[in-house]
Structure 1
Amino acid sequence: MKLRFAGKVAIVTGAGSGIGAAISRQLAGEGAEVLVSDINADSARNVAAEIRSAGGKARDFAVDVTDAHAVETLVNFATRELGGLDLAVNNAGIEAARKATANYSLEEWHRVMDVNLHGTFYCMKHEIAAMLACGGGAIVNVSSILGSVALPTASAYTAAKHGVVGLTKAAAIEYARMGIRINAVGPGWIETPLLSGHQELANTRRLEALQPMGRRGTPKEVAALVCFLLSDEASFIAGSYHLVDGAYTAH
């Protein structure tokens, strides 16, 4: 495999499973030293150990992205212990109970916003500062197909993921001349633990019937896009939002 990221240091949040784990594995496989972070310390530790057993470089770090101070500590660890920060993937996210907008409790609404939108901002705030100190870098924020379309009874998630796309675009303009490229990806229905928790959508036949390609995507397919956007091959791509959804949103 081509070592596109040899000598680079990367942070991936929500990396204990699913898309984040797949991104961490590919980054490490292509030469990066990856700081595998997740709110679940055991999951982060297991993914990092798996990467090391395969010959890659990885450290684990437990972090709750809703805690701005904890996120700052994460980034400081990367710069202090790993020598800097070149790449970041802000992937941590949660779903919410499916219900009509007026039926959300304030606690449910704020929890989704805190993790999916505010957590992405906290990460970017500190990652950008670290990258500026290192002379530049690349960031990919993981939004969703619901960053461009809507799903009834998922207004909190839809609003948060639309917000991630807007945040990505604004920051990309601000830092483009400072050597930092910022993009977003919008995964569709991907085979992950998050999707498995969707009891309504977990029925394979029902969900696959909605897909023009007739199947769900895989975390590796999302990782391939994310790693391309982080690489020098995407050197003129910034401020954009890339779907990986098997034509779902083309309906």
Structure 2
Amino acid sequence: MSEKYCIITGASGGIGSQIAKKFYDQNYYIILLDINKEKLENVMKAMDFKLDRAAYYPLDITDENDVKNILRHIYQQYQRIDVLINAAGICGEYAKAIDTSISNFKKIYDVNVFGTFLMMQNVLPIMIDQRAGVIVNFGSVSGLRGYTYEIAYGSSKWAVIGMTKNIANEYGSCGIRANSVSPGWVDTDMMKKTLINYKQLGLSETVNIGPINRPADPIEIAEAVYFLSSGAASYINGANLVVDGGKLCD
């Protein structure tokens, strides 16, 4: 098989776009998905992705019918899906548990948990038929530590890590591997939004970014994702790879 196909959700984001570039540079055919069509078009242009090996579709991963329809179209077009990267995610609004609105909680879970689930649920039958496939989801160090003010975001990422292990256990015998990546601070718009939110809560804008003393470059996260998707990680299944510069060691 000469062509391999990779789907990336959240592909217009700082991390998602770098993941797309990494797979494109490794000669994958990439399919970029994100809720914002204009941002997808900007990524296609900025990364100089050519339409002979890249496609993009606007998608709301919280909408079950939208997910089903887009994935049905993708499969009809390309006849296989080798890698699914669920990079779409939101941090929502940070607050103490007693101040966290249920609407904010639900919105975060709709994207981070249920959106990730819907993508896996609808890609898995294709991978099962192929007897091969790789899924990489996104956890977070927040899902491992239980940080203050992050009950909604952190618990959603804990849920994603758990779902990943479920999938790894259920479908490993079908030739499918599922793993997750848990970043710490990454130099993205989400990090900037988080620091603004922290300031509004009266917290220090100086945060613990770990002993390497800098946030990750999105490219560094993309490298970890590609590794888990590659043959070099052929026996890694159900793992959660922490890519935080040692932050959890502090």
| TM-score between the two structures when normalised by the length of structure 2 | 0.92
Unaligned runs of 5+ in 2: none
SS of the counterpart of 1:89?
Answer: strand
Q: 88-97 vs 49-58, which deviates more?
A: 49-58
Q: Does 1:170 pair with 2:170?
A: no
- Per the alignment, residue 21 of structure 1 pairs with 17
1:178-225 Cα offsets, whole Å, 9 max, x none, are 010000000110001111112156899823x54210111011000000
Give 1:229's aligned amino acid. L
Instruction: Map 1:212-223; keep pairs closer than 5 Å.
Output: 212-223=211-222
User: Are the equivalent residues in 1 in contact too, given 2:209–2:215 (CA < 8 A)?
Assistant: no
Instruction: Map 1:10-89; keep pairs closer than 5 Å.
Output: 10-53=6-49, 57-89=53-85
1:104-140 Cα offsets, whole Å, 9 max, x none, are 2221110011111111100110111121122211000
SS of the counterpart of 2:93?
Answer: coil
SS of the counterpart of 1:242?
Answer: strand
Give the Cα–Cα distance (whole angstroms) in 1 for the partners of residues 70 and 234 of structure 2. 26
Give the Cα–Cα distance (whole angstroms) in 2 for the partners of residues 62 and 41 of structure 1. 5
Give the Cα–Cα distance (whole angstroms) in 1 for the partners of residues 38 and 11 of structure 2. 11
SS of the counterpart of 1:186?
Answer: strand
SS of the counterpart of 2:145?
Answer: coil
Q: 44-53 vs 231-240, which deviates more?
A: 44-53
CA separation of 1:139/1:197 partners in 2, compared to 1, >3 Å: closer, same or farther? same
- Per the alignment, residue 156 of structure 1 pairs with 152
- Per the alignment, residue 206 of structure 1 pairs with 206
Give 1:245's aligned amino acid. D
Q: How many residue pairs were aligned?
A: 246
Instruction: Map 1:112-131; keep pairs closer than 5 Å.
Output: 112-131=108-127
SS of the counterpart of 1:190?
Answer: coil
CA separation of 1:158/1:31 partners in 2, compared to 1, >3 Å: closer, same or farther? same
How far the C-alpha of 1:143 sits from its partner, in A, is 1.2
Unaligned runs of 5+ in 1: none
User: Are the equivalent residues in 2 in contact too, given 1:26–1:223 (CA < 8 A)?
Assistant: yes
User: Are the equivalent residues in 2 in contact too, given 1:65–1:119 (CA < 8 A)?
Assistant: yes
Give the Cα–Cα distance (whole angstroms) in 2 for the partners of residues 242 and 192 of structure 1. 20
Q: Does 1:147 pair with 2:147?
A: no
User: Are the equivalent residues in 1 in contact too, given 2:83–2:133 (CA < 8 A)?
Assistant: yes
- Per the alignment, residue 181 of structure 2 pairs with 185
User: Are the equivalent residues in 2 in contact too, given 1:6–1:30 (CA < 8 A)?
Assistant: no
How far the C-alpha of 1:90 sits from its partner, in A, is 0.4
* Segments ≥4 residues shifted beyond 6 Å: 202-205
CA separation of 1:249/1:6 partners in 2, compared to 1, >3 Å: closer, same or farther? farther
Q: 28-37 vs 146-155, which deviates more?
A: 146-155
- Per the alignment, residue 134 of structure 1 pairs with 130
Q: Percent identity?
A: 30
